[in-house]
Amino acid sequence: MLDTDVKVVYQRPRGFEELPTHYCPGCTHGVAHRLIAEVLEEMGELEHTIGVAPVGCAVFAYNYFAFDFVEAPHGRAPAMATGIKRSLPDATVFTYQGDGDLASIGMGEIVAAASRGELITVIFINNTNYGMTGGQMAPTTLPGQVTTSSPMGRDVERQGYPIRTAELLSSLDGAAYVVRRSLHDPKNIRMAKKAIRTAFEVQKQGLGFSMVELLSTCPTNWGMTPANARVWLAEHMVPYYPIGDFKVSSSIAYDKPKGRD
């Protein structure tokens, strides 16, 4: 055995079950899952975390994470997370929600949770459509984008304009950390991971509500190969949904925080 030269450079995070996922090939839900598992492992939080799954393609997220999970009614994850966090203030609590779940049916709950400064972290998957139900229009669907319920392309006159959720929530005083990242290439994925880490640190430090919006692909309902879907994301989504920090509370200390190892 070449035990001197062999170095592990990549392995399944401890926060993951050893299971194939049900996500479509090339879907970035898997990438987002991995980043969360890595961050929680690095922070030593795996044993203290409770996740809240949405209704959407990620409804089965609880199958893949190796820690406690609950599953919320459509859009209500921030309310359930609130109940959990208020009952177990020391736990790390996060929701994982799609754009239909969070920005359409669940807009009330997310706004209320953010404005209360609820100490939860929200991972928000923006893939511009309702994946699970077969690709209907979402609040995030781009102008002109064809979906199964905007068959002529989203007509902003009749169907309104897309919601920039991160910007919207950033206006709330209870929100401490609200940023947007993307999952379309390695550089952006690394940036996304850093942001997820910060969001969880914000929760640990009790600074307020934290959310990371992640621009994601849905190759199946977009009718594209995974590679083309990433290009489409970069070319169409990023210009409409700029990557950036929309709310970073001044008390956030970026470098220091350590987990509870």
Partner 1 sequence: MQTEVIISGFGGQGTLYAGQVLAYAAMDEGKQVTWIPSYGPEMRGGTANCTVVISDEEIGSPTVKHPKAVLALNLPSLDKYEDMIAPGGCLVVNESMVNRKPERTDIRVVMLPANEIAREIGNERAANMVMLGALLANMDILPNEALEKALKNHTAQRLQKFVEMNIQALRRGGEYRAS
Partner 2 sequence: MALELIKGNVAVAEAAVRAGLVSYFGYPITPQTELLEYLSARMPELNRAFVQAESELGAINMVYGAACTGRRTMTSSSSPGVSLMQEGLSYISCTELPVVIVDVVRGGPGLGNIAPSQSDYNQATRGGGHGEYHQIVLAPASVQEAIDLTTLAFDLAEKYRSVVMVLMDGSLGQMMEPAELPPFQPIKTEIPDWAVRGIPGRGKHVLTSINIDPPAQERTNIRLMTRWQQVEANEVRYKGYYLEDAEYLVVGYGTAGRISLSAVRAAREKGIKVGLLRPISLAPFPFKVLSDLAEQVKALLVVEMNNGQMLEDVRLAVANRKPIAFYGRMGGMVPFADDVLQEIEALAAGPLSQEEHPRDRWLAKMRVEFGTGA
Ligand X SMILES: Cc1ncc(C[n+]2csc(CCOP(=O)(O)OP(=O)(O)O)c2C)c(N)n1
Contact flags string 131-150 toward ligand X, x per CB under 6 A: xxx----x------------
Q: How far apart are CA 167 and CA 247, in angstroms?
A: 8
Q: Which one-letter DSSP state was computed for residue 128?
A: S
Which does residue 152 touch among ligand SF4, ligand X, partner 2, none (CB within 5 to 8 A, set by kind)? Answer: partner 2
Q: Is 24 in the site for ligand SF4 (CB under 6 A)?
A: yes
Question: Angle between the 107-115 and 77-87 helix axes, to the nearest 10 degrees?
Answer: 40
Figure out which of the listed residues 219, 237, 247, 248 binds ligand SF4, where binding follows CB under 6 A: 219
Which of partner 2, ligand SF4, ligand X, none does 239 bind, CB closer than 5 to 8 A by kind? none
CA distance 100 to 184: 20
19 touches partner 1 by CB under 8 A: no
Binding span for ligand X by CB under 6 A among 5-13, 56-64, 156-164, 193-201: 56-64
Site for ligand SF4 in 127-146 (CB under 6 A): 127, 131-132
- Give Cα 179 distance to the centre of its chain: 11
Q: For partner 2, which stretch binds (CB under 8 A), given 24-32, 129-137, 191-199, 234-242?
A: 129-137
The option from ligand SF4, partner 1, ligand X, none interacting with 15 (CB < 5 to 8 A, set by class) reads none
Verify binding: residue 35, partner 2, rule CB under 8 A. Answer: no
Minimum distance from CB of 256 to ligand X (Å)?
34
Interface stretch with partner 2, choices 61-69, 100-108, 165-173, 177-185 (CB under 8 A): 100-108
The answer to whether residue 231 forms part of the interface with partner 1 (CB under 8 A) is: no
Name beta bridge partners: 179: 212, 245
Chain centroid to CA 35: 10
The helix (H) or strand (E) run that includes residue 140 is: none
What is the Cα–Cα distance from 170 to 164, expressed in whole angstroms? 10
Judged by CB under 8 A, does residue 104 bind partner 2? yes
Q: Where are the alpha helices (DSSP H) in 68-178?
A: 77-87, 99-100, 107-115, 156-159, 165-170
Q: Which phi and psi angles does 103 have, rounded to 5°?
A: -100, -5
DSSP string, 206-256: T--EEEEEEE---HHHHT--HHHHHHHIIIIIHHHS--EEEEE-TT--SS-
Choose which of 43, 58, 93, 111 interacts with ligand X (CB under 6 A). 58
- Binding residues (CB under 6 A) for ligand X: these are 55-58, 74, 98-101, 125, 127, 130-133, 138
- Binding residues (CB under 8 A) for partner 1: these are 22, 24, 220
